[in-house]
Structure 1
């Protein structure tokens, strides 16, 4: 092992340790904050760390829970029947029922 490798930190491979042996600045930087700074950080935390969830997100969550709780419906037979009617040209649209449904949705 050469001299350069012995000065490298084992935790951070691309950093070097203090070769002169004066690590006082590094040790002081690693010490915890004093009580004044601790209180300042606590005040900042109280002031800035609040979360508000919009009502739309809450509504979506409720809807999602209701959908997840609902039983699954297998409409594959109905879809196949409608597809066949459309392809054969035998599908008849009930325009009055469609209009009624649209009006009910609007009112």
Structure 2
């Protein structure tokens, strides 16, 4: 069973639960997969609706992003969010070719306050 890499967890579950009949397990597997498919379809529809109505960047739409954050690229925003220390470069690739190289200095960017 390649899915269970944590053998201790598998042993714990097998020790503390009773086996269920195979037909019952298959029935619940089908029910859960149908529920998952419906939930995934609804989430996909919600994302399409948000993009169609112009709310694909919800943080900007609801005013959670400042003008300073909107000026930064997504990679710079992420580096700021995870509080990267020191200086470095943010390199952007398209396929196998380098598109852009942006210097990043954590001292110049004010960190997100918790």
TM-score, length-scaled by structure 1: 0.28
Larger relative strand fraction: 2
